[in-house]
Amino acid sequence: MDMKKLAGDKAAEYVKDGMVLGLGTGSTAYHMVNAVGELVKNGMKLKAIPTSKATEAQAKELGIPLLTIDEVDHIDLAIDGVDEIDPQFNAIKGGGGALYREKVVATLADQVMWIMDESKLVDKIGAFHLPVEIAQYGSKQAMKQMEDYGFHPVLRVKDGKTFVTDNGNYIADLHLGAGFDIDDVYGKLTGMLGVLEHGLFLNMCKRIIVGCSSGEVKVIENSGK
């Protein structure tokens, strides 16, 4: 049972003719992008903004008409994956390193929907590392600041090299532990010198779609949005 595919396919049911869509990044979003590609193939008229170069390449391959973030005057619906989410809809995103573009698109979207397998549902977020996108210039200073706050940052490395985001920056992964003080960390990271954006997405989504090992797909609405 591919729980990520279950969620990705279900998400496509919320895509309507004429929409401007935000297309997320990651292994769950991959299935959703395929499903959106199928809608386009079947004649649906929509336009989309990808949140990473990887999603852009996939969408182009599928013939999904694309726009850049600066070409749109609105986004109807952003659909994306998530790394961890608690019952208050506080989430950690950015496991794939696309958190900046994902946050821009989610912030501008009329509605945000996240898709996931059931492992992403947690009581308290923080067991998963919190990704923070930092400028290369002065990155050691930013790391030191986060260390001094007790955030246990680790510079992300991929294939033996420092990981560089689509925006040309580094990622610091913070090891905070489940149950960390969300408001405190959010406050300290927001506006910190050298920090472009962080992966705390607090109460931003309207709905989550969860693919379960039983084969069930749960749709959970956020009544606070």
**Residue 173 CB, nearest approach to ligand 5RP (Å):** 12
Residue 20 or 99 with smaller CB distance to ligand 5RP: 99
Q: 29-32: which pairs have CB atoms within 8 A and are 24 or more residues apart?
A: 29/55, 29/79, 29/80, 29/81, 29/115, 30/4, 30/58, 31/2, 31/4, 31/5, 31/7, 32/7, 32/8, 32/79, 32/115
- Catalytic annotation on 102? yes
Note whether 147 and 132 are within 8 A (CB): no
Among residues 37, 50, 96, 126, which is the contact residue for ligand 5RP, using CB under 6 A?
96
- Candidate list 84, 102, 133, 197, residue with the active-site label: 102
Among residues 39, 59, 85, 99, which is the contact residue for ligand 5RP, using CB under 6 A?
99
Residue type, 97: G
Among residues 50, 95, 126, 211, which is the contact residue for ligand 5RP, using CB under 6 A?
95
Residue where the block lists tokens 């390449």: 57
Alpha helices in 18-162 (DSSP H): 27-41, 53-62, 99-108, 139-148
Among residues 6, 21, 75, 98, which is the contact residue for ligand 5RP, using CB under 6 A?
98
The interface with ligand 5RP within residues 27-86 (CB under 6 A) comprises 27-29, 80-83
Residue where the block lists tokens 């501008």: 108
**Residue 181 CB, nearest approach to ligand 5RP (Å):** 22
Binding residues for ligand 5RP (CB under 6 A) = 24-29, 80-83, 93-99, 102
Give the active site residues. 102
